[in-house]
Amino acid sequence: EVQLQASGGGLVQAGGSLRLSCEASEFAIDDYTIGWFRQAPGKEREGVSCIRSHGSAYASDSVKGRFTISRDNTKNTVYLQMDSLKPNDTAVYFCAAASGGTDDYFYCSENLAENYYLSDYWGQGTLVTVSS
């Protein structure tokens, strides 16, 4: 179900910052775990970060300390603040949501990439390009 819109991507130099947004258009995100995923050409989908319904979060080792996920339920939006960007962060970033019917900690874990298929909603993504 395509009911999430990712935005905020663009071209940025290495070391720069970018803030992505994931807005739900047809449902309230309050009771959902939201994950950010990325996929670069020729590479497998990667689970980047996710935020659980109660606010705790997971971040993959590759982005931990550089990316920060947050949510604003009043705006029905989840954000991904990306700092200290590296060229290998270049990818299409997209978000997905898992309902309360899916275990929050199971979905939002080190297996996030594989758990993408448990998502109830998803978006088309936004391209992030990090130049050297």
Band (55; pLDDT cuts 50, 70, 90): very high
pLDDT at 75: 96
User: Where is mean pLDDT largest: 8-12, 27-31, 105-109?
Assistant: 8-12
Band (43; pLDDT cuts 50, 70, 90): very high
Residue range 82-123, pLDDT digits in tens: 999 999 999 999 999 998 777 888 899 999 999 999 999 998
**Average pLDDT in the 119-129 region?**
94
**Average pLDDT in the 2-13 region?**
95
By the 8 A CB rule, do 1 and 119 touch?
A: no
pLDDT at 127: 98
